[in-house]
Amino acid sequence: MKHIALTTRDAPLPSLTSTQRQEFLKFPDVDDFVLGRYYQLSGPDLRLLSDMEDPAQKLGVAVLITVMRHIGRNAMTVTVPEVVLSEVALQLDCDPGLFQTYQKNWRKHGKEHTHRIKNHLGYVSFQIQHRQELLQFMHDRAHHTDMWFPLMIDLVEELRKRRILMPKITVLESLIQEALVFARNFAFQILTMALRDPHLAKLDALLLPDPGYRKGKGTTLGWLRDLPVKASGENVLKCLEKLKRLRDLPLPWQAREFIAKNRMDKLTREGRTLDTYQLSDFEPMRRHAMIAVILMDAEETLTDRILEDHRKIMLGSFNRCEKEHLVKILSHKTTITESLNLTYTIGKILVAAKETGENPLPEIEGLISWEDLIRVMEASRNVTEQKMLDSMHLLKGQYRKFRKYARKMLFSFEFQASSTSKDLLEALGMLARLGKKRKLPAQVPVSFVSGRWERYVFTDRGIDLVYYELCVLNELSAALRSGDIFVEHSKKFCDFEAYLLPKDRWRASLKTFPPLVPLSFDEFWEESSKGLREELVATDRAQKLGDLPEVRVEHGQVIVEPLKREQELADAAEAWSEVLYDMVPPIKITSLLLEIERRVKTSKVFTHLNLGNVAEDLHLLYSVILAEGTNLGLAKMAQASSRTKVKKLIWLHEWYVREDTYLAAMAELTNFQLQQPLAGHWGEGTHSSSDGQRFKTSHKAEGSGVFNGRYGREPGLTFYTHVSDQYSPFFVKVIASTDRDALHIVDGLLYHQSDLRIEEHTTDTHGFTDPVFAITHLLGFRFSPRIKGMKDHKIFTPEKMDFEVLRPSVGGKLDVELIRANWEEILRVVTSIRAGHVTASVILAKLSSYSRKNSLYRAITELGKYYRTLFMLSWWKDPELRRRSNWNLNKGEALNKLKKILFFNNLGELRARDVTNQAKRASGLNVLVSMVTVWNTVYLQRAIEHLEAEGTVIPDEILQRISPLGFEHINLTGDYVWRQEDLPLEGEFLPLRLKKK
């Protein structure tokens, strides 16, 4: 049976979650503003009601009018809040309870009243002709996103604008699904229109067996997608060969410009999961479109891989030189020690001789002969020569690694450059064109040769070709990372403009994504500078009067003391925690997962990539999640689970378990936690923290790990996790150990799918930079990092100001003109992030690697200094802010301990080689941790209720410190057998462990 492009008759695409459905079906929040705008009866309203004598009918019709005006729905289809009934009844001077009477008699007059009210407000019922009109409206939006929730928001809002009563939610879901199918097929058509029959034949030929790949068992497409693991010159050459083969194929690059970025990203993610045999079964248009998508993704991946591998080879060469240099220095240890001791002794003799006026030579001659002194001096001179003080002199020995591939690499790419890197661009082209004699022309660009490179490139005999080439290759890596050099068909190293919404489009997008600050900088700064000025003066005065709790000034530095009473409460909480966990029943990890599934129904989000149906075999699904979360792997899980075969696990792992389904599962668990009474003691779900946890990579996966100065030469990767104040891990991302945490903070705040409404976020020092302060605040989040050594950081003023106490802490005044000159570009960056045109981590990484001379980077940094200053002033003044930040960060650190316990198989080493499977491991671990946290929360709550029933009440300040991260009662090892009989009955719980009286 052939797979064809989806139509509305096929299996449904993923729909709204149950939580999202409830969000649309429930009545929106009502405050005084809403009551004043929608629920005040006007003159025409009262005239419509004037001919009704029955108070119940009058109230019922009045409620129908106001509710329809507010939410565009019939009041009989929703539960109307008491506050609305009371407000309307007050205006009619009647009892709100009469509305129940009207509801009981609805059938008698309902149709007539609804008809009159629709005519009165200008509303119409949803009709078949409206479907086509709304489909046209939804088509444009479906091109840009596959996310059901924002599409439903747009559709409901459009119904209100057109004054069409909202139909059943299933009708709206069918509209969205049809629009998504149209958008998907439209993308297929655009991608294939540019390809002619000979081109299509070339694409189909890639699906045939390739005699030179895997002994004829693989296909050419498989060969093109198969990337080597290790960064080496030989592997760079292999990648260049594949890149050349890809460039010989007809690819619809221009067609991508007519497809929304989010849609293209979705197709790319789908293409990465498809195998050759699956593509062969697709109908022609879908098959050719997906092959084109896969090939374009492969070309971008190869481009990035080649340039990134070159950087790794360069860094590895520097590291080897440093290591070899250190060995050479240590080989002269005896000479260095002898020389230093002799220098010290002779120095003492000379100092003493100067004080006494005696001749020091006799004493020196008694210490060492002149022949030995000359020998030591000569040895010292050899050790202190320039080449012994700098490892760069060894780099020439590494040149053969680069000679293998460098010229071919430079020749394969058409580099482009900003105005600051024109000389480097010229040098790249010149080296690419060098002949076999490898002789430099008379005039070569050298403006980029600086620092350590100068003494090796410029010699007495002229320019050293080898060092010149090595310098150019090194500067290429730096310029690619900073954006000063860029290439086409690359994700990491493309033009910075490609990351942002086009200048002619970003203003139009402000209607959908209005900025949270004024568009006019002068308007923004007038209010902001006034607030900053007042905060500075107030803080200086409070510090002078000693009104800042636990804060003092010492040697001109502001010192924040540890909060008092925290340790006492922590000790009490630990004691109570032992009492509560002694009551929690023991459980096997398999039973725990099944019980949480019964309560949360997490499995409903694990849907088939193409068909959208839900995974049916729960035991199979949770075997995969457990295999990933414990780092056991699918093969060993199949052995440990009595009824599971490894092929079944692989099938489900590839089609149902993905990063997006894991993210949806985290959202379901987080939403469930949000509703638990005990979780309310820990927070309201409005605060969060994030922290990185490093996991070693095995030697097999070493190529995917990156060496790091903090951890030595042992390769590893970091799981960067966002945690709510209720202990819910709601987002995770795998990052290189060399990446700074700050780059990835905003991703979790923006791209999680839970009902959390994060207002404030906390990190440790590794997550703090001034640009992050700016970006987070412009996106609507308060950023409250716990900065190590905050006393050493300076605050900044809007203009020159003088203070009595804070003067030593002031680092100067803000460069307001720089921010003003770049204000629109700053807003364009933020809007591009909000619109999903670029992820926050990508843009922050690009900005952080930018040249320090870049105006936009400096402007965002300067704006970040403004927000950091406000934060530091708040930190000094507000003990509650300090306490809250410490608590939230400690929750994340405690969660890391539980993750280390759960991720115990394979010695905790990450052995997955590719990025996709590494991300799945991280997500599986996060879901497993979430389930343990939710289960503990449920049973800790039951233990607390039992104690309260016996008359023992635990104080709130203790409950705030009880953690749901205990694990001693959970059996994590043994065979993973799924027994439904071990679970409590539906709606019931396992019995607590109670001590016999």
> And the tokens for 541?
């005065």
Closest residue by Cα to residue 140 from 182, 188, 169: 182
pLDDT of res. 377: 77
Cβ partners under 8 Å of residue 147, min gap 6: none
DSSP string, 15-83: ---HHHHHHHHSPPP--HHHHHHHSS--HHHHHHHTT---HHHHHHHHHHHHHHHHHSS-GGGS---HH
pLDDT of res. 851: 57
pLDDT of res. 853: 59
Closest residue by Cα to residue 621 from 928, 236, 281, 163: 928
Q: From CA 75, how far away is CA 95, in angstroms rounded?
A: 18
The label of the residue with tokens 């001096």 reads: 377
Q: From CA 759, how far away is CA 781, in angstroms rounded?
A: 5
Cβ partners under 8 Å of residue 686, min gap 6: 725, 756, 757, 758, 759, 760
pLDDT of res. 9: 33
Q: How far apart are the first and last CA of the chain?
A: 68
pLDDT of res. 411: 92
Tell me the Cα Rg of the chain: 34
> And the tokens for 160?
């209100």
Cβ partners under 8 Å of residue 141, min gap 6: 151, 154, 179
> And the tokens for 639?
């052995």
What is the b/e burial string over 952-968, where b = at least 16 CB atoms within 10 angstroms of the residue's CB? eebeeebbebbbbbbbe
Strand 795-797 to strand 551-554: parallel, antiparallel, or no bridges (unpaired)? unpaired
pLDDT of res. 850: 64
Q: From CA 362, how far away is CA 485, in angstroms rounded?
A: 66
Q: How many residues would you count in the chain? A: 997
Q: From CA 525, how far away is CA 799, in angstroms rounded?
A: 12
Low-confidence ranges of the chain (pLDDT < 50): 1-12, 700-709
Closest residue by Cα to residue 768 from 804, 803, 741, 802: 741
SS3 content of the chain, % helix, strand, coil (to 5): 60, 5, 30
- Whether the CB-CB separation of 120 and 44 falls below 8 Å is answered with yes
Cβ partners under 8 Å of residue 97, min gap 6: none
- Whether the CB-CB separation of 689 and 762 falls below 8 Å is answered with yes
Q: From CA 79, how far away is CA 71, in angstroms rounded?
A: 12
Cβ partners under 8 Å of residue 161, min gap 6: none
Cβ partners under 8 Å of residue 124, min gap 6: 118, 163, 164, 165
Q: From CA 372, how far away is CA 763, in angstroms rounded?
A: 60
Closest residue by Cα to residue 368 from 357, 356, 358, 376: 376
The label of the residue with tokens 């991608």 reads: 191
Q: From CA 847, how far away is CA 854, in angstroms rounded?
A: 9
pLDDT of res. 938: 96
Q: From CA 289, how far away is CA 252, in angstroms rounded?
A: 9
Work out the burial of residue 535: count CB atoms within 10 Å of its CB; fewer than 13 is exposed, 13-18 middle, 19 or more buried.
middle
- Whether the CB-CB separation of 311 and 738 falls below 8 Å is answered with no
Bridge partners (DSSP) of residue 588 are 971
Cβ partners under 8 Å of residue 857, min gap 6: 771, 847, 848, 850, 851
> And the tokens for 218?
């693989």
The label of the residue with tokens 């233990």 reads: 943
- Whether the CB-CB separation of 206 and 221 falls below 8 Å is answered with yes
H or E segment and range at residue 782? strand 782-783
- Three-state DSSP class for 274? coil
10 Å Cβ neighbour count for 37?
Answer: 10
Domains of the chain by residue range:
31-121, 329-393, 413-494
- Whether the CB-CB separation of 635 and 723 falls below 8 Å is answered with no
Q: From CA 948, how far away is CA 583, in angstroms rounded?
A: 14
Triad 580, 586, 591: Cα angle to 5°: 125
pLDDT of res. 5: 39
